[in-house]
Amino acid sequence: MYRSHVLVCGGTGCTSSGSEQIIAELEKEIKAVGLAEEVNVVRTGCFGLCALGPIMIVYPEGSFYSRVKPEDIKEIVDEHLLKGRIVKRLLYSETVEEDNVKSLNETDFYKKQHRVALRNCGVINPENIDEYIAMDGYAALGKCLTEYKPEEVIQVIKDSGLRGRGGAGFPTGLKWSFAAANQADQKYVCCNADEGDPGAFMDRSVLEGDPHAVIEAMAIAGYAIGASQGYIYVRAEYPIAVKRLEIAIGQAREYGLLGKDIFGTGFDFDLGLRLGAGAFVCGEETALMTSIEGKRGEPRCRPPFPAVKGLFGKPTVLNNVETYANIPQIILKGADWFSSMGTEKSKGTKVFALGGKIHNTGLVEVPMGTTLREIVEEIGGGIPNGKKFKAAQTGGPSGGCIPAEHLDVPIDYDNLIAIGSMMGSGGLIVMDEDNCMVDIAKFFLEFTVDESCGKCTPCRIGTKRLYEMLDKITKGQGTLEDLDKMEELCYHIKNNSLCGLGQTAPNPVLSTLRYFRDEYIAHVVDKKCPAGVCKELLSYEIDPNLCKGCTLCSRVCPVGAISGTVKQPHVIDKNKCIKCGACMEKCKFAAISKK
C-alpha cells in the first residue's frame, strides 16, 4: 500500500512544458530518500487547467502544484513527501487562502464544472486498464451484454437525450436505431478522432487521459447495432493519444474485453486504428470513411446515409470521441441522470477547449445552458491586461463570432445557431478589443480554402473568391458593394456545397458582418483598421512632445525609416516604414503610436 500518490499530467500540453523530465526527477529523488515503496508516481491525462502546466497533485492531501520546474522537485520530495510539510509557494495561488489550503473543487476554474466525459482525465493512469476497471470501467459493457437486448440499449441512449458532440448535434440514439434497422452481413462502428478545428483539443485530451472509455462505448455501440468491427480514425499529429490507444486496445484484448465471445455472451467485437494525415475535410463522416477505405478523403453525396451505406458500403455508426465518452456513464447511471443536466433540447454536459485572450486556458466541461459569461469571466478568469471582451469564436472555421451583447445567452445547440454560430466540436476562442474581426474572418477563410478537398465548385472556387474579397478589404481596397457581394456569395456557398465543410465555411464571415459591420465599413470607407491589426491600413507616428531623442527607435528599425538627432524629436518616413512595430515596442516614453 502506498501512503502518497503523486499525479503528474502526462497530456500533450504539460508534456511540451517538460512533465516527462519532472516525472524522471521525481522518481530519482523519491528513490534517493528511500520512499520508493511508499510513494506512487502516476502519469495521468490532462487536468484541464493547461495554463498552469506542468501540473502535479499530491494525494491524500490534494495539494495542487502548478508550473512545476525540475529544480522544484527536490524541495517537494524533501519537504512534502518526506516531512509532510506542503510547499505553499509552489501551490496554485487560488488554492491558498491565508493559512488554509482549499481543495481544487473550490477554485473558480473547477467549482462550476461537471465532469462526465472528462471524469477520469487527470485521475487515473490511462495506460493501466486496472485503474480504469477500478473506476467502474467495462461495467457498462457487461451490463449491456448480460441485462439488455440491443434495442433496449438504444432506447436508453434515446431517452438520455444525448446528441452528437462533433458539431451537428444529431440525436445519438436515433442514429444508432437507423443502423440497427438495416440488415447486413457486416456492420461497422467508427470513431471520429480527427479533430481539426484550430484551437480545439477536447478529443485529444479524452484519448490521452481515458482511452478505455471510448473503447468500451464503441463495443456497446457494436452490440446495439449488430456490428463486430470498429475503427478509430485519429490524426497522426496526436502521438501520445495514438500510443495510449494502442496500449489500451492491446490490454482490452488481453483481458477478453475485445475480440471473440466477450463476457462469454457470444458477442464478438474488435477495434482497429487508422491514422489520418491532418486533412480537415476528413472530419466529415463520409470523407472519413472514404479515407479509412484507403482512398482520397473526399465526401460522398447523401443519401444514402452511412446508417444505410457507410464504410465499405455497409451500415455504419460514426460518433466523435466526446459522444462515446458519455455512453458508459449513461448506461451505468441511467438516462434520467444524464437528461437531468443541461437544457430541454440539449442534455448533459459539453467540453470546451478554452483559448485565446483568457487567463485560464484549458479544458472545461460544463452543463449545457451555462452562459458564455460564466465560462469567460468565472471559469476562464476573464481577459488579461484589463482588456474588454469583444467576441468569442465557437465551432472553429464552421462556427461564428459571438459578440458581448450575447454574453448571457445560455450555450446550447439551438441558442448558438439562433445567434449565428454553432457548437461545433467545442473550440472556444476568446477575443479582446485588440482583435480585428475582419482579420479573424479572413484567418478562418484562409484555413478553409487551404483545407477544401476541391470536389465541389461552390467550396473550391467560392471560398477562394470570398477570401480574396476579405483580403482586398483588409488592404483598404474594398468597396461597399463588396460587402453585399460577399453576403450573396456566402449564401450561395452554404446552399450549394456538397458537405458540411463548404456549407459552414461562410459562417465566420456572416457572423462578423452581422455583428461587426461597422469594422468592415471602417476598413472600406475610412481606410482604417479600428483594432490596429491590418498592416496595410496602419501608420506609425512619433509625438514630438513626448519623444526625448534617445535614438533607440532608430537603432531598432530594420529598414532605417526613422531619422533624428540625439535629444531631438525623431520622425518616421512612411514610405520606408514596413510597419513591423519594433520602434513602438522599444520606445520607453510611449512617444510612438499606431493609427
Q: Which residues 6+ apart lie within 8 Å of 538 measured at CB?
A: 529, 532, 579, 594, 595
Q: Which helix (H) or strand (E) holds 21?
A: helix 19-32
Q: Which of 449, 46, 433, 144 is nearest to 441 (CA)?
A: 449
Instruction: Please report the domains of the chain, with CATH numbers, ordered by start residue.
Output: 4-106 (3.40.30.10), 129-339 (3.40.50.11540), 349-432 (3.10.20.600), 437-526 (1.20.1440.230), 539-594 (3.30.70.20)
Q: Which cell goes with 206?
A: 479524452
Cα separation of 208 and 163, whole Å?
23
Residue 95, pLDDT score = 86
Q: 0.85 cut: is pTM over it?
A: yes
Q: Which residues 6+ apart lie within 8 Å of 571 measured at CB?
A: 542, 562, 563, 564
Cα separation of 212 and 249, whole Å?
8
User: pLDDT of the chain along its 595 residues, tens only?
Assistant: 899 999 999 999 999 999 999 999 999 999 999 999 999 999 999 999 999 999 999 999 999 999 999 999 999 999 999 999 999 999 998 888 767 788 888 899 999 999 999 999 999 999 999 999 999 999 999 999 999 999 999 999 999 999 999 877 899 999 999 999 999 999 999 999 998 888 889 999 999 999 999 999 999 999 999 999 999 999 999 999 999 999 999 999 999 999 999 999 999 999 999 999 888 899 899 999 999 999 999 999 889 999 999 999 999 999 999 999 999 999 999 999 999 999 999 999 999 999 999 999 999 999 999 999 999 999 999 999 999 999 999 988 888 999 999 999 999 999 998 998 888 878 899 999 999 999 999 999 999 999 999 999 999 999 999 999 999 999 999 999 999 999 999 999 999 999 988 999 999 999 999 999 999 999 999 999 999 899 889 889 999 999 999 999 999 999 999 999 999 999 999 899 998 999 999 999 999 998 8
Q: In Å, what is the CA distance from 248 to each residue of 131, 138, 255, 458?
A: 12, 12, 11, 42
Cα separation of 445 and 24, whole Å?
43
Cα separation of 30 and 190, whole Å?
43
With 0-12 / 13-18 / 19 or more C-beta atoms within 10 angstroms meaning exposed / middle / buried, residue 482 is: middle
